[in-house]
Structure 1
Amino acid sequence: MTLKPEFKRLLWYGSVFLALFYLPVGQVRFDGAILEALHLAKWYAREHVLLCLVPAFFIAGAIAVFISQAAVMQYLGTGANKVLAYGVASVSGTLLAVCSCTVLPLFAGIYRMGAGLGPACAFLYSGPAINVLAIILTAAVLGPQLGLARALGAIVFSVVIGLAMQLLFRREEQQRQQAAALPVEAMPRGLGQNALYFASMVAILVFANWGSPAEQQGLWYLIYSAKWWLTSGFALLLAVLLVRWFGVPARRMALVTVLVAGLALLFPQRPLLAFVAGTAGLVWLTASGRDETGELRSWFDNSWDFARKILPLLLLGVLVAGALLGRPGHEGLIPTTWVAGLVGGNSLSANLFAAVFGAFMYFATLTEIPILQGLLGAGMGQGPALALLLAGPALSLPNMLVIHCVLGTRKTLAFVSLVIVMATLSGLIFGAIVQ
């Protein structure tokens, strides 16, 4: 028996014992924090795993199988046209109404397929930061100045952060791109076919998660009222494409379609049942792999690979974030009065704290707006409000854990630091302008 391993084990056992011995069970704040962690995890599982993450995993898996590596490197690689690469990446969030966690499988998919670190990080930031509905709602609820500053800041941020990441790790990126620059087989489908296929899946992701707007009228509410009809239409389009172009047996697809349609007709007030049935059907169709080329099985394998690596880290991060920060309107271990007291005025410390707080807290899509509304009412300055808006939706503790899994420690620290520093500086500048 060697002493060193046993000594480490003894320290581990001792640490666990002391943690249990002094566990503050029975104290109101501690018990409340544990409940908040569980409440947030339950809410996350119900509202985001099925509707957001599962479609995102399938899209990420499809990127790995159905998009040529050469095409990804041509448009998003290190040698790609910079204006095109960063232009596409910086405005991607206008099409994807996703949160900081849902964007992760998509980011991992394009990065694994050879996208340059800069464009991939620009996409990672912009995806959850600048969806159109969030910016419009920010302007309507928090004022047009904050709405405009958020839109411009998010687009500029994504480009600057992407360029900075590419510059900081240029040697590593050159080596990675050279290693990836191997001959690849031509894809069996053309650009138009792949574009329609991916558009149908992205539309399902967007419309299934379309939130109710503040006003019960107008275009956004009309889309919200028809969200499940729109989702069903794009799901039907995806089913047709899978049969026509991807070798899914028509009889199997017909069986899944009848099951989903039956549930939708029997339970019109519970559309999630039909959505779950459709998802289960897609899992069955891809996992069984009844196509000649084996693409369907590869699609499932890649999607599952993303899910098994990302989901545990996300759920762990959600539990920790819930325990520390709670949910909107509920406190965790850190009292909200502390937060409100630290973000008043337009000092460097107030903007930095707002950026750090936003970076670690988990915000679902659009939830940052009512939270900020309450903080502004409690005395939060306009500058710190913008800092939180620019750092919060794009980052979270669960998000950081997964980014670390994809990029490693150094790149993750650099990305997080760039977001926090730029959010802080933007808050300072904006606060000085509007004062």
Structure 2
Amino acid sequence: MSFADSVAEAFSGILVESWHIFAEAAPYLLLGFGIAGLLHVFVPDDKVMQYLGSSAGKFRSVLNASILGVPLPLCSCGVVPAALSLKKRGATKGATLSFLISTPQTGVDSIAITYALLDPIMTVFRPVATFATAVVAGVTENILDFSNEGPGTVSKRAVPLTVLPMTSTMPDACGCSSCGSHEIEGENVVQKVRSGIKYAYIELLGDIGFWLIVGVVIAGIISYFVPANMVGSYLGGGIGSMLLALVVGIPLYICATASTPLAAVLILKGMSPGAAFVFLLAGPATNAATITMVLKFLGKRTTVVYLASIALCAVISGLVLDQIYSKLGIDALSIAGSASEIMPEEVKNVFAVLLLPLLVYGMYCRKGCVEK
């Protein structure tokens, strides 16, 4: 076989594997994005502020921020400006940190794709661990905050915050119109549903579409090239494999939805569910850009609490998850993706064909938004 034939065969194999992963996830992604759009239009900003503000109390605000952040459909680029806006408008520092952690770690779309590509145990465990991580970080930050700063103030060690509005019809600080919630006051139910559909299947899809495709393609490359015994040898379980997953995940820029296909393929190749979960928790929660923003606007101590809470909770969650599978006598490899088996391949391919042009169109619209 010539070199050109080998390259063509590899390219074809990667495409087949990537399409298979994409088709498995497509029905659940479409459902998840739809729910995300409804949340976007029916949960107004003033209600968010009512429960996250300092008037709710240092500990209650953390709980509220953690709960609201788990399903909230904010794009990854919009998490930082939205969280900093919460701080400026009176949210406690702990609530700000909780929101910053819980929002990107999971959402209705990533929960749906977790169910499709992994299994019910991981689907339930993921938002629970996300909530716990956000609470730990927020409560720790509020306990350590001895500065007695009033609402809306910032540490002298941090750069003063400018107002970063959550509600705007103009592109946000990141250059994307989907980062914050848009004004929808005065709209009737039908108009709100239309706005939700537009947000879900154009703006939100466009915002994470590129990284979702990248995640699927990387998963396809891993599935095609990487032998199962190699992954099992180095990442088969234990604290060492989880620390390695943590080191890779913390600086990596990847959203919760895009990270799921990677984790699913690694589990199928022999990675322990606990080590894969460390990657699922740490990867979307933070990246080099987010760390820089937290350091600049919230200060050094908050940044240390932010990273330490994510690292500690991710490793503990990974160890707990491995124990759950062990105690229940369940092999994660045997049930990964089992939820998607209830749907015929033909139906999944139809959903994939519907989703792909929406992804392309959303990315095209987002690119136009940024260029303007």
Q: TM-score, normalised by structure 1?
A: 0.47
| Runs of 4+ residues deviating >4 angstroms | 176-180, 226-229, 231-234, 339-343
Which of residues 171, 180, 194 is equivalent to 2:146? 171
Distance 1:357 1:89 in 2: 27
Distance 1:207 1:99 in 2: 8
Does structure 1 conserve the Cα–Cα contact (< 8 Å) formed by 2:255 and 2:283? no
Show the counterpart of 2:288.
Answer: 397
3-state SS of the aligned residue for 2:250?
helix
Superposition map of 1:106-125 within 5 A: 106-125=82-101
Show the counterpart of 1:184.
Answer: none
Q: 1:413 to 1:89 in 2, by over 3 A?
A: same
Does structure 1 conserve the Cα–Cα contact (< 8 Å) formed by 2:53 and 2:89? no
3-state SS of the aligned residue for 2:113?
helix
User: CA shift at 1:152, angstroms?
Assistant: 1.0
User: CA shift at 1:83, angstroms?
Assistant: 6.0
Show the counterpart of 2:33.
Answer: none
The answer to whether residue 29 in structure 2 is matched with residue 138 in structure 1 is: no
User: CA shift at 1:227, angstroms?
Assistant: 11
Count matched residues. Answer: 248
Where does structure 1 lack aligned partners over 5 or more consecutive residues? Answer: 1-58, 181-193, 209-225, 235-270, 276-317
3-state SS of the aligned residue for 1:328?
helix
Question: Quick one: higher RCO (CA 8 Å, sep 6+), 1 or 2?
Answer: 2
Instruction: Please give the per-residue CA displacement for 1:337-393, whole angstroms capped at 9, x wherever unaligned.
Output: 9x9478623211211221232221111341011111221122211111111112111
Show the counterpart of 1:286.
Answer: none
Q: 1:383 to 1:228 in 2, by over 3 A?
A: same
Q: 1:138 to 1:343 in 2, by over 3 A?
A: farther
Show the counterpart of 1:55.
Answer: none
The RMSD of aligned alpha carbons is 4.6
Show the counterpart of 2:354.
Answer: none
Show the counterpart of 1:344.
Answer: 235
Distance 1:343 1:137 in 2: 26
Distance 1:178 1:230 in 2: 31
Distance 2:296 2:64 in 1: 25
Does structure 2 conserve the Cα–Cα contact (< 8 Å) formed by 1:383 and 1:430? yes
Q: 1:408 to 1:83 in 2, by over 3 A?
A: closer
Q: 1:154 to 1:178 in 2, by over 3 A?
A: closer
Q: 1:178 to 1:416 in 2, by over 3 A?
A: closer
The answer to whether residue 178 in structure 2 is matched with residue 205 in structure 1 is: yes
Does structure 1 conserve the Cα–Cα contact (< 8 Å) formed by 2:89 and 2:151? no
Does structure 2 conserve the Cα–Cα contact (< 8 Å) formed by 1:85 and 1:119? yes
The answer to whether residue 362 in structure 2 is matched with residue 388 in structure 1 is: no
The answer to whether residue 304 in structure 2 is matched with residue 434 in structure 1 is: no
Instruction: Please give the per-residue CA displacement for 1:184-233, whole angstroms capped at 9, x wherever unaligned.
Output: xxxxxxxxxx99x789x99x83899xxxxxxxxxxxxxxxxx99953587
Distance 1:428 1:176 in 2: 39
Which of residues 81, 101, 126 is equivalent to 2:102? 126
User: CA shift at 1:131, angstroms?
Assistant: 0.8
Superposition map of 1:190-229 within 5 A: 205=178, 229=194
Instruction: Please give the per-residue CA displacement for 1:225-257, whole angstroms capped at 9, x wherever unaligned.
Output: x999535878xxxxxxxxxxxxxxxxxxxxxxx
The residue identity in structure 1 corresponding to 2:323 is A
Distance 2:272 2:256 in 1: 22
Show the counterpart of 1:223.
Answer: none
Distance 1:179 1:129 in 2: 27
The answer to whether residue 195 in structure 2 is matched with residue 230 in structure 1 is: yes
Instruction: Please give the per-residue CA displacement for 1:80-126, whole angstroms capped at 9, x wherever unaligned.
Output: 33564233211223553234432111011111223111111111111
Does structure 1 conserve the Cα–Cα contact (< 8 Å) formed by 2:168 and 2:180? no
Which of residues 97, 110, 128 is equivalent to 1:152? 128
Show the counterpart of 1:13.
Answer: none
Show the counterpart of 1:303.
Answer: none
The residue identity in structure 2 corresponding to 1:175 is E
Show the counterpart of 2:313.
Answer: 422
Where does structure 2 lack aligned partners over 5 or more consecutive residues? Answer: 1-39, 155-164, 182-190, 327-372
Q: 1:385 to 1:376 in 2, by over 3 A?
A: same
Asked which structure has the greater CA Rg, the reply is 1
Q: 1:105 to 1:93 in 2, by over 3 A?
A: same
Superposition map of 1:405-416 within 5 A: 405-416=296-307
Does structure 2 conserve the Cα–Cα contact (< 8 Å) formed by 1:99 and 1:363? no
Distance 2:95 2:291 in 1: 18
Does structure 2 conserve the Cα–Cα contact (< 8 Å) formed by 1:100 and 1:396? no
Distance 2:131 2:138 in 1: 11
Distance 2:281 2:178 in 1: 23
3-state SS of the aligned residue for 1:205?
coil
